Amino acid sequence: MSVRRYWRLVTSVIDAPAYFYIGSVLHADTCELAISEGEAVTGEYPADPFTVEAHFSAASGLQAPSLIGNGMSLVALHRDVVKLFSKELDLGEHEVLPFTLVNHKGRAHSKEYVFLNPVGTHDVASPLSKFMRFDDGEIYGCEHWVLSAKKLADVPDILRPAEVANEYLVSDRLVALVEQHALTNFELESVDVVT
pLDDT digits 0-9 by tens, 141-185: 999 999 999 999 899 999 999 999 999 999 999 999 999 999 999
Model pLDDT, residue 2: 67
pTM: 0.94
Is pLDDT of 31 > 70?
yes
Q: Does the pLDDT of residue 61 top 60, yes or no? A: yes
Please report, rounded to a whole number, the percentage of residues in the chain having pLDDT higher than 90.
Answer: 87
What's the chain's average pLDDT? 94
Q: Residue range 25-48: average pLDDT?
A: 93
Q: How far is CA 105 from CA 36, 101, 108, 109, in A?
A: 26, 12, 9, 9
Nearest to 66 by CA among 26, 114, 24: 114
Lowest mean pLDDT among 30-34, 72-76, 114-118: 30-34
